[in-house]
């Protein structure tokens, strides 16, 4: 099987952490060139630490972890400790990891790695605010032809915003970076709340993960039980939406999803609707259809895939 070269950019956060454990469990499918971290759910010093803890838990200290931008391109940082806890990964034991953080800045790593690669060779998988990706594209447009595709978690249309009435957290955090990505003219798939809100970590699914009876399974259960408490109340649902692992699931089994090519643009000016993803779902304009907007998920298939990979 030929591996897909990927760079994961994330802000762990429990759902990013589960995404990392899923990706790190797929060495045959993914050649993870690096994990870059960004400020988002919690500040950068915690997201980079949390990413390294997940690599150690997965036994994958061979993967390099980089720290990137500690705030959005223009706005002040918004964090979400109310959702993720003070550590960002409440629900697992947090400790100072022994694997090193790379000295190189994440944006420099992204630029250097892409410039040194063939065209259409590297997949970017952002699951946090898009600051690192937007900065890399703005600083060095020559990286764009090297990007095979981008599969990002962010945005919302039918589901409405989860952080303001108009906006989902990742896009709200750095709308300017998100707009740069929307305009990059590379193959782009967006995994929005419209999809991730179908991926609910129900108690039944938690019990299936607990039954793995492994350290990784126990860590995921602990994080999910913590992660569930906020969103279950907020949405009145049986479990919280498991956002970020949907990106990895899409790369592994795209047939679990349905999407359509749409024009997607980002509101960057209005204080009221900052970070809104304006999706031309019904083609009412003749604007370029720049993104594959996912809107349907086979949730049982997704969790079967997740549990199968966590088992390995
Ligand atoms: O809105 C959900 C997204 O924001 C997820 O990626 C979560 O980890 C937070 O970053
Ligand atoms: Ca995230």
pLDDT tens digits, the chain, 312 residues: what are they? 689 999 999 999 999 999 999 999 999 999 999 999 999 999 999 999 999 999 999 999 999 999 999 999 999 999 999 999 999 999 999 999 999 999 999 999 999 999 999 999 999 999 999 999 999 999 999 999 999 999 999 999 999 999 999 999 999 999 999 999 999 999 999 999 999 999 999 999 999 999 999 999 999 999 999 999 888 888 888 899 999 999 999 999 999 999 999 999 999 999 999 999 999 999 999 999 999 999 999 999 999 999 999 998
User: Which helix (H) or strand (E) covers residue 309, if one does?
Assistant: helix 299-311
The predicted model scores a pTM of 0.98
Q: How many angstroms separate the CA atoms of 301 and 224, rounded? A: 19
Phi and psi at 93, nearest 5°, equal: -70, 125
CA dist list (Å): 224 to 12, 190, 281: 13, 23, 32
Give yes or no for residue 113 CB within 6 A of ligand 1.
no
Q: How many angstroms separate the CA atoms of 190 and 54, rounded? A: 24
CATH superfamily of the 4-310 domain = Ribonucleoside hydrolase-like (3.90.245.10)
Q: For position 1, what pLDDT does the model report?
A: 67
Spatial contact of 14 and 227, defined as CB atoms under 8 Å apart? yes
Q: What is the DSSP-derived secondary structure letter of residue 42?
A: S
Phi and psi at 151, nearest 5°, equal: -125, 105
Which one is catalytic: 84, 197, 243, 276?
243
Ligand 1 pocket, mutate which of 129, 160, 170, 173 (most atoms under 8 A from CB): 170
Q: For position 235, what pLDDT does the model report?
A: 84
Domain locations along the chain: 4-310
Give yes or no for residue 135 CB within 6 A of ligand 1.
no
Give yes or no for residue 227 CB within 6 A of ligand 1.
no
Tokens, residue 203? 């108690």
Q: Which residues are near ligand 2, the ion (C-beta closer than 5 Å)? A: 11, 13, 16, 127-128, 244
Q: Which residue's CA is the nearest one to ligand 1's atom 2?
A: 169
Q: How far is the CA of 1 from the centre of ligand 1 (A)?
A: 31
271 contact partners, CB below 8 Å, separation of at least 6: none
197 noted as active-site residue: no
Q: For position 229, what pLDDT does the model report?
A: 87
Torsion, Cα of 263, 269, 275, 281 (10° steps): -20
Q: How far is the CA of 308 from the centre of ligand 1 (A)?
A: 23
Q: How far is the CA of 244 from the centre of ligand 1 (A)?
A: 7
Q: For residue 14, which ligand has an atom nearest its CA?
A: 1
Q: For position 246, what pLDDT does the model report?
A: 98
Three-state SS sequence of 139-192:
HCHHHHHHEEEEEEECCCCCCCCCCCCCCCHHHHHCHHHHHHHHCCCCCEEEEC
User: Which helix (H) or strand (E) covers residue 33, if one does?
Assistant: strand 30-37
124 contact partners, CB below 8 Å, separation of at least 6: 6, 7, 9, 110, 133, 147, 149, 150, 151, 152
């Amino acid at each position: 099987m030929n591996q897909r070269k990927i760079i994961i950019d994330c802000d762990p956060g429990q759902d990013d952490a589960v995404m990392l454990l899923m990706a790190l469990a797929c060495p045959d499918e993914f050649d993870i060139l690096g994990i870059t971290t960004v400020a988002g759910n919690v500040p950068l010093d915690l997201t980079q630490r949390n990413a390294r803890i997940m690599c150690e838990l997965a036994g994958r200290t061979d993967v390099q972890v980089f720290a990137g931008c500690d705030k959005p391109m223009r706005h002040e940082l918004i964090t979400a400790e109310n959702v993720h806890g003070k550590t960002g990964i409440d629900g697992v034991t947090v400790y100072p990891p022994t694997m090193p953080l790379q000295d190189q800045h994440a944006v420099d790593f992204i630029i250097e790695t892409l410039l040194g690669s063939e065209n259409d060779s590297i997949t970017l998988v952002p699951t946090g605010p898009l600051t690192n990706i937007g900065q890399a594209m703005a600083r060095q447009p020559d990286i764009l032809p090297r990007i095979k595709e981008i599969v990002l978690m962010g945005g919302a249309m039918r589901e409405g915003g989860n952080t303001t009435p108009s906006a989902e957290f990742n896009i709200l955090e750095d709308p300017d970076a998100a707009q740069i990505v929307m305009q990059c003219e590379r193959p782009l798939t967006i995994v929005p709340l419209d999809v991730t809100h179908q991926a609910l970590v129900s108690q039944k699914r938690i019990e299936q993960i607990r039954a793995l009876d492994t350290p990784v399974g126990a860590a995921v259960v602990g994080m999910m039980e913590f992660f569930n408490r906020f969103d279950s109340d907020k949405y009145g649902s049986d479990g919280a939406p498991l956002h970020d692992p949907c990106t990895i699931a899409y790369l592994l089994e795209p047939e679990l999803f349905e999407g359509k090519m749409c024009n997607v643009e980002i509101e960057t000016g209005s204080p009221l609707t900052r970070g809104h993803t304006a999706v031309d779902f019904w083609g009412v304009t003749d604007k370029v259809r720049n993104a594959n907007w996912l809107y349907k998920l086979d949730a049982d298939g997704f969790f079967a895939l997740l549990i199968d990979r966590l088992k390995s």
